């Protein structure tokens, strides 16, 4: 596990032109071609600042540039560096070798290269990151401090922040509390509930509820992709009933997925589905409850049970 440390964001080229090369070869890269490399290596920062003042618009701008250059040259191995490319966050720790290239840009080795996954191998996709962390991409300079280091370290370590853990615990309690309500639904209530659950997540019926198709209770189509799915609704079912529907669905080619919703499957059915990667997706009471909470159907269930 990585300890909680300082973290720095680096922009690999003004328009990301160095990203591919840096990520592939495991290096950091810095511009500032007019900055004296030998002075930076020797730590003669007064000399570097004088050079920056000669080319900067103001003393404040020169100071900001100096801070970024010092970070590149002096940040130790405890500092975590991050950058973004395509749909991922990448991170590394810098090594000690710093070189100046022919175009006067500077490169610095990394210890183990850039990584786009957490310590457990889970991809660090932008879609799973907070807006506050993603906002550092808008930093107008080249190198800047990451504001919420604790959050970043949780993401890199694959752990959950305490406030998120508390919210997940509350969510799980809510899911578990709705399971008995789902199991109490009669057949005439259970099928409309399943229909409503799919409709709340973007599916529309091809045929009316309880139509004439003998092997399908819900024939649904995606409002965005035109994908069709078939749903069978059973309040209770055993393994024989399930396998009967597996055979029926096997000859249907119009559907991308088949769902078998059953709030009380028999132990044999549950065990078989867990052990076999079958063609039908089973949603039991717990999965239905989880989907219902996410779809905002808690009040609907409470009204039916009260």
pLDDT band of 141, cuts 50, 70, 90 = confident
Q: What is the pLDDT of residue 212?
A: 47
Distances, alpha carbon 156 to alpha carbons 71, 104, 266, in Å: 21, 33, 41
Domains of the chain: 7-159 (no CATH), 163-305 (3.40.1350.10)
pLDDT at residue 300 tops 70: yes
195-235 pLDDT tens trace: 999 999 889 888 655 554 667 889 999 988 889 999 999 99
Residue 61: per-residue pLDDT: 85
pLDDT in tens, 29-70: 998 888 889 898 889 998 888 888 888 778 888 888 899 999
The percent of residues in the chain predicted with pLDDT above 90, rounded, is: 53
* For range 127-145, the mean pLDDT: 90
Round the average pLDDT of the chain to a whole number and report it. 88
**Quick count: other Cβ atoms within 10 Å of Cβ 305?**
13
Q: 22 and 10 in contact (C-beta within 8 Å)?
A: no
On whether the pTM is more than 0.85, the answer is no
- Give the mean pLDDT of 123-137: 92
pLDDT at 59: 81
Q: Which of residues 271 and 274 earns the better pLDDT score?
A: 271
pLDDT for 71-99, tens place per residue? 999 998 889 999 999 999 999 999 888 99
Ramachandran area for residue 293 (φ above 0: left; ψ -120 to 50: alpha; else beta): alpha
SS3 content of the chain, % helix, strand, coil (to 5): 45, 25, 35
pLDDT at 208: 58
Mean pLDDT of 291-296: 92
| 92 close to 112: Cβ distance less than 8 angstroms | yes
For 167-190, what is each residue's pLDDT tens digit? 999 999 999 999 999 999 988 899
What is the distance between the alpha carbons of residues 39 and 274, in angstroms, rounded to a whole number?
Answer: 65
The pLDDT value recorded for residue 287 is 94
**8 A C-beta contact, residue 224 and residue 202:** yes
User: b/e string for 274-304 if b means 16 or more Cβ within 10 A?
Assistant: eeeeeebebbbbebbbbbbbeeebbebbeeb
Cβ proximity of 137 and 19 under 8 Å = no
Question: And the tokens for 250?
Answer: 């096997």
Please give the Cα distance from 13 to 228 (Å, whole number): 45
- What phi and psi values does residue 154 have, to the nearest 5 degrees? -60, -40
């Amino acid at each position: 596990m990585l300890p909680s440390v300082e973290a720095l964001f680096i922009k690999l080229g003004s328009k990301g032109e160095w990203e591919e090369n840096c990520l592939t070869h495991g290096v950091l890269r810095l511009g500032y071609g007019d900055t004296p490399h030998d002075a930076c290596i020797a730590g003669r920062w007064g000399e570097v600042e004088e050079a920056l003042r000669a080319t900067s618009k103001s003393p404040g701008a020169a100071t900001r540039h100096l801070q970024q250059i010092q970070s590149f040259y002096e940040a130790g191995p405890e500092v975590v560096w991050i950058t973004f490319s395509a749909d991922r966050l990448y991170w590394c720790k810098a090594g000690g070798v710093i070189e100046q290239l022919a175009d006067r840009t500077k490169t610095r080795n990394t210890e183990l290269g850039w990584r786009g996954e957490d310590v457990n191998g889970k991809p660090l996709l932008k879609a799973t990151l907070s807006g506050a962390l993603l906002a550092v991409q808008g930093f107008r300079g080249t190198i800047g401090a990451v504001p919420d280091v604790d959050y970043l370290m949780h993401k890199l370590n694959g752990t959950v922040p305490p406030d998120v853990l508390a919210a997940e615990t509350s969510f799980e309690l809510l899911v578990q509390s709705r399971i008995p309500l789902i199991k109490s639904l009669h057949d005439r209530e259970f099928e409309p509930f399943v229909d409503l659950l799919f409709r709340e997540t973007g599916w529309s019926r091809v045929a009316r509820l309880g139509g004439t198709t003998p092997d399908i209770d819900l024939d649904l189509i995606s409002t965005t992709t035109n994908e069709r799915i078939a749903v069978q609704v059973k309040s209770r079912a055993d393994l024989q009933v399930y396998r009967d529907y597996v055979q029926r669905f096997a000859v249907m080619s119009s559907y991308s997925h088949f769902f078998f919703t059953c709030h009380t499957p028999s132990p044999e059915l549950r065990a078989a589905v867990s052990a076999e990667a079958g063609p039908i997706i089973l949603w039991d009471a717990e999965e239905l409850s989880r989907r219902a909470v996410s779809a905002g159907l808690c009040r609907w269930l409470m009204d039916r049970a009260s």
